[in-house]
């Protein structure tokens, strides 16, 4: 009986419980509740954080507007930055064709003006000077040909070479004193040893700026040589053939006296070679800037250990500033050595002897075996000048704006160092005071024994060092103030 009663009550009880559960579930569904919350919701319910929502959720309306404004402002800033700063690089070459005339080429006519070759009627010299002077009035881009009297060089052709070596001109065309006399003697006396290339000389120093020479100077000079030899050859041949006093047998023995009659001997006093030297004076120096820039982010966390009291008292801030400056300059000492050793490892010449300034020589070096040390010191002082500026700016403007500073620093230095400022608009003359311009100039004069202004170059670099050293404590205090301000915000 008891068993029967329990059996009768059990279905009713189950039905009651089932109805109760069903009513609860229906109530939850009617209230918009989910039967099984998602994993993110369960996590949010556990830690009390807001639940993730979609991009167009009403709860994100305010932050969406804020993000759009920040995105638009950042894009505008970057766009204006690109237009302004990158334009500095494009603009340096904008007026090259118009400024080609600033590349001075001396035209010095010694023909018939120096004893014992005076007395005759010179033909070669006047014809060349007339041609170059006529080119100055041509509408096409042309070099800055300048006719200079031999007396300005004490009637010495070697003095013209010295002037080119001393950067008083990019090149020189010399008409030798015996140009016409030797040509006339060749046809009159059948001088079979006559060499047309002895009539004129072209002098230049390619290591001064190999790109300007290869792209602008030498192509125009080569075209001028072709024009002159062709024009003079026609004139001279006509004169000789009309002169019946010259035996035809003589002309048969010295055909070179008729064609080409005259020519140009080329003297590149300092060739730009070997090719591996190119990075040392051009594109490789960009990495010197980048290396000095990134040293800030590598070394700052190390230096900050002195200010973080983790089992030790913090260092006084003035002492910290002195330590940071000394450690930074010491790091540049070793980093510049590593950079310089790359050139040594790839066998750039550093042990050659010096050579006379008026003779052609490959990689002569004014400091002999000490050339590498001088080259290293150029990179070292240059790295301090470049690096301390990066340190100061990075401490003041902070992330992410330091990336924009790096772009600005690289572009302004490269555009005023790897391209001739004589071809750039005059506005770029501030580049003569920029660090990399002086590093490049000092490096070239050291590796090729060019006209040296290394004292001026080091002087400019040390000015940068002194200015940035004076600003260094101010920037350090600015960085500390910014860090304290951020710490207060986080609290």
Query: In this structure, how many other beta carbons lie within 10 angstroms of the beta carbon of residue 146?
Result: 15
Distance CA 381, CA 462 (A): 7
DSSP 368: G
In order, the DSSP letters of 150-207 are GGGGTT-HHHHHHHHHTTS-SEEEEE-TTHHHHHHHHHHHT-TT--GGGSEEEEE-GG
Q: What confidence score (pLDDT) does residue 43 get?
A: 52
DSSP 473: H
Q: Tell me the pTM.
A: 0.84
Q: Which of 491, 487, 467, 466 is nearest to 307 (CA)?
A: 487
Query: Is residue 332 over pLDDT 90?
Result: yes
| Poorest-pLDDT segment among 9-23, 244-258, 342-356, 387-401 | 9-23
pLDDT tens track for 124-146: 999 999 999 999 988 889 999 99
8 A C-beta contact, residue 383 and residue 454: no
- Higher pLDDT pick, 130 / 32: 130
pLDDT tier for residue 35 given thresholds of 50, 70 and 90: very low
Distance CA 284, CA 343 (A): 10
pLDDT tier for residue 38 given thresholds of 50, 70 and 90: low
| Poorest-pLDDT segment among 24-38, 320-334, 350-364, 435-449 | 24-38
| Poorest-pLDDT segment among 36-45, 172-181, 469-478 | 36-45
Segment 346-363 mean pLDDT: 93
């Amino acid at each position: 009986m008891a068993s029967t009663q329990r059996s009768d009550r059990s279905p009713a009880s189950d039905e009651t419980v089932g109805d109760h559960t069903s009513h609860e579930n229906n109530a939850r569904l009617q209230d918009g509740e989910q039967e099984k919350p998602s994993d993110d919701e369960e996590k949010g319910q556990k830690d009390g954080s807001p639940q993730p929502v979609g991009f167009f959720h009403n709860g994100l309306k305010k932050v969406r507007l804020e993000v759009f404004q920040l995105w638009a402002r950042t894009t505008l800033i970057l766009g204006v930055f690109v237009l302004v700063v990158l334009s500095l690089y494009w603009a340096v070459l904008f007026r090259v064709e118009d400024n080609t005339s600033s590349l001075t080429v001396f035209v010095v006519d010694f023909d018939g003006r120096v004893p014992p070759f005076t007395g005759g009627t010179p033909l070669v010299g006047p014809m060349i000077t007339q041609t170059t002077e006529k080119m100055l009035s041509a509408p096409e881009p042309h070099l800055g040909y300048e006719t200079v009297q031999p007396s300005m060089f004490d009637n010495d052709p070697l003095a013209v070479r010295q002037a080119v070596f001393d950067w008083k001109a990019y090149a020189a065309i010399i008409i030798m004193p015996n140009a016409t006399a030797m040509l006339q003697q060749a046809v009159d006396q059948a001088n079979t040893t006559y060499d047309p290339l002895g009539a004129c000389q072209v002098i230049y120093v390619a290591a001064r700026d190999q790109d300007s020479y290869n792209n602008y100077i030498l192509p125009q000079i080569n075209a001028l040589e072709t024009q002159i030899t062709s024009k003079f050859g026609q004139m001279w041949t006509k004169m000789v053939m009309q002169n019946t006093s010259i035996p035809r047998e003589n002309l048969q023995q010295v055909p070179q006296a008729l064609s080409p009659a005259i020519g140009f001997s080329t003297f590149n006093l300092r060739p730009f070679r070997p090719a591996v030297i190119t990075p040392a004076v051009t594109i490789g120096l960009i990495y010197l800037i980048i290396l000095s820039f990134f040293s800030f982010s590598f070394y700052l966390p190390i230096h900050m250990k002195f200010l973080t009291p983790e089992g030790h008292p913090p260092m006084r801030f003035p002492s910290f500033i002195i330590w940071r400056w000394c450690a930074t300059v010491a790091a540049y000492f070793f980093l510049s050595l590593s950079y310089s050793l790359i050139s040594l490892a790839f066998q750039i010449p550093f042990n050659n002897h010096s050579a006379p300034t008026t003779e052609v020589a490959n990689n002569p070096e004014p400091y002999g075996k000490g050339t590498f040390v001088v080259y290293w010191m150029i990179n070292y002082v240059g790295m301090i000048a470049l690096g301390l500026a990066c340190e100061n700016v990075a401490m003041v403007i902070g992330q992410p704006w330091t990336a924009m500073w790096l772009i600005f620093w690289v572009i302004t230095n490269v555009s005023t160092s790897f391209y001739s400022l004589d071809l750039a608009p005059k506005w770029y003359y501030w580049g003569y005071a920029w660090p990399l311009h002086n590093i490049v100039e000092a490096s070239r004069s050291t590796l090729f024994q060019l006209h040296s202004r290394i004292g001026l170059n080091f002087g400019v670099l040390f000015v940068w060092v002194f200015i940035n050293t004076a600003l260094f404590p101010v920037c350090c205090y600015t960085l500390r103030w910014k860090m304290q301000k951020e710490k207060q915000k986080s609290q």
